[in-house]
Every structure is written in C-alpha cells, then in structure tokens.
Structure 1
C-alpha cells in the first residue's frame, strides 16, 4: 500500500494536485451525480491514491462541497469583473442576465442554485449549502442595497422583489432543463429574463450617476466578501 505524498501545505505542487482532484470531481459529479461518485473513482481518474485525496479533504462530502465552492467562486470572480467594467451590471436585469449566461455553462452551479438532489445528494439539505444558494439567488443584502439606492419599483419591498427575482430566474433555468425546443438561443433566453426582471423590479426612470456608482461599489464589496470567504475555505484544503 503506497504512502500518500505529503507535499508542504501551501506549496504550488500541493495546490496543483488539489486543483486536479477538484477538476476530476467536477467532471464526475456532472456526469454521474452525487450517489454514483466515490473517492475511489476520483482518485483513480485523478491519478492519485485514495489516501492522497483524504490528505486534502477528510470526507467525501467535504470534497464535493469544495468542488461546488470552487465553481461558485469562479462565478463570483466573473461577476466582479463585469461589475468593475460596467456600473449598470449591478442592476437586477443586468446582473441576473450575466448570472444566467454563466450558469448555463456551469452545470454544478446550476445544480446548486436549483438544489438538484441528483447532483447534490445529501448536500441538498446542508445548511452551508443553503447559505451558498442564498448568496447566489436570494441575497437579502443585495435586495436591500437596491431599495436603499431607490433602484426598485415604487412600492416594491426588498422581500417582494426577492420573491419575484428568485422564482422568475429559477423558472427560466428550470425550463431550460426540460429540454424543450423553443427555438430560442441561450442569449435570447437571457435577454427575455433580463427584460422580465427590468419591467417587474426596477423603477422606470434611470438611477442618477451618483446612485448607480454607489450601488455598484456596494455590490462589488458584497460579492468580493463572498468570494474571499469561499477562497479562504478552499485554500485550507490546498
């Protein structure tokens, strides 16, 4: 029986090995789902010993959650880049359009958002996973920021706005899962989602440049904090 290779914590070689294990786990989870993927499967496909996987993650669930975290982190990093590039990306119709397009190319993030039991398995009921789902689609802090900057339609509370945003977005994502041929491209669906959310949630008059800049800065800070939390947790495994 081979002894697991104990590369120095924080070393580039150890991090590269962890990334390879996470890449393999992501591929297997996407293809086969939670219940059909074992640590033996991951180790064999990644070209490492089973004990080496356990040097990074103590349990199968910890490995699977780290895989989901990394996908969520990559989404947050993309959102931060878009927000830095264009202040209007902080508005719901623009933000959720970006998220929709990203999620269609990230099946594990979609599974996380839709709480797909086939992919998440026992993680579907985990409180940590639930918190991540709220970060992605039910973020009360984001909705409050919109309200504070006067971005919401008159009379619409953050709670009511959140109800609309979550259910409309999940409806669009869920409809895509049905595989029906509606003749629409992913971009066209994203545009429709954007238009529905703009009409349902946002005020008719555009925000002032000052209010938009303030909202953008606050949303950047919010997502940066979330991303850093996931990044720090992942780094502990590296």
Structure 2
C-alpha cells in the first residue's frame, strides 16, 4: 500500500531526528533543527508531534521495532540461529546496523541527555512490572529447556553478554582502527566462543533458541500494545 503524504512527512521528521540526535544528542537537538533537516516548517512538525519529547518517544518506538524485526529476520535465516551464539550474533549484527540503537544500548548520556532523568520516561513505563531484562529472560529460559549449561548463574552469563556487546559498540573510541579486527570476524568469533563455552552438547537442543526469541519478542510487543492502550485511555479521560 502506498504511503500517504502525511506518513512520508512523518517518516522524514523521524529520519531527521534520528540523524541529529545520534550526532548532537537529545538536549542539543531542537524541534527547529529537526524541521530544518527534514525540509519542513517547525509548525508542520507539531502537526505530527505535540512536543519534542513525544517526537523522541515515537523515534524510540520506531527504532526499537526496526531493530527487533531485523534481529528476528537475521535469526530466522541463520541455520545456527537457535543457539546462544546464534541468537547473540544476530543481535549484534542488528545492533551494529543501527547507530541510534547502539547509542541507546550504551545508555549514552550524550544521546539521551535529560530525557532519561524524567520520572515517566518511556524506558521506565515500558519496563514497569518487569523484573528482568530480555537477555536474562532468554538465558533463563534456555537453561530451563536444557539448551544451556546450568552450573552458571544466568545473571553472570547475562552480564558477560552485556559486557561483550557494550565493548563491541564502544571500543572504537579506545582501540585504534588499525588494531581492530573486521566487525564480522569479531561477531562470528564471539558467537563461536559462547556456543563452545555455554551450549549443551545435546544436538536436539540446538534450535530451541529461535522459539524462545519469538516468544520474548511477541511478549514485548504485547506489553507495548498494552502500554499504548492504557495511555490512550488516560488521555481520553
């Protein structure tokens, strides 16, 4: 179905916001800057978004959805996508393809600025009632299914995964480019190490991870829909 003029304009606004915020950060990017980059008037931006905060949250949702769909697509087409290393490899490739999401993963204060200090920011609203992260939930369910060794605390495994991913998206500011291996080689190497260190030797467990990721992504989408419905009802009251 062809996109309407309003949808195209909204897409340009979000594209401009993603580019500017990834470079200058939330605090230093103004609605005027975004309008100028998108080639429209400031008033036209407010036809789509009532505030800079609302625009930023729409951008967050779009980029998170894009990232999740890309992650799932990479996972599904990878024959080894159901292992811990396969899941992690797909996640890292999806993350490396999205500079905005990489900045969010780092919790980059330059990018997020004062937004994360807001008591009702999107992250807090979305995670309300959740006791664990997506990666922890994946590890926990993989162990419960017998696909991962269970002699290590899932929190320890999750923390190691987070450390590796953070390093992947942050090391360019620490290690000179000439001393850094190709990104693909790094991601593939991390996946091999994780599978050899943590996966069950039982070959029948090698595809379980795909279904677990599908379940977790579906649950996250349902949680978002519930949040959106709840906030819409509050607005209408």
Give the TM-score of the pair, scaled to structure 1.
0.78
1:121 equivalent in alignment to 2:113: yes
| Aligned counterpart for 1:151 among listed residues 120, 127, 147 | 147
1:161 equivalent in alignment to 2:157: yes
Equivalent residue number for residue 94 of structure 1: 86
Alignment of 1:170-209 (within 5 A): 170-181=166-177, 182-203=179-200, 205-208=201-204
CA deviation string 1:26-83 (max 9, x = no partner):
1111222222210011112212232322232222122123223212211111122233
Q: Is the 8 A contact 1:24 1:46 kept in 2?
A: yes
Please state how far the C-alpha of 1:86 moved relative to its aligned partner: 3.6
Equivalent residue number for residue 235 of structure 2: none
Gap runs ≥5 in structure 1: 1-10
Distance 1:226 1:17 in 2: 28
Aligned residues: 219
Of 149-158 and 109-118, deviating more is 149-158
Distance 1:37 1:68 in 2: 15
Give the TM-score of the pair, scaled to structure 2.
0.78
Q: Is the 8 A contact 2:26 2:110 kept in 1?
A: yes
Q: Is the 8 A contact 1:100 1:173 kept in 2?
A: no
Please state how far the C-alpha of 1:121 moved relative to its aligned partner: 0.8
Equivalent residue number for residue 3 of structure 1: none
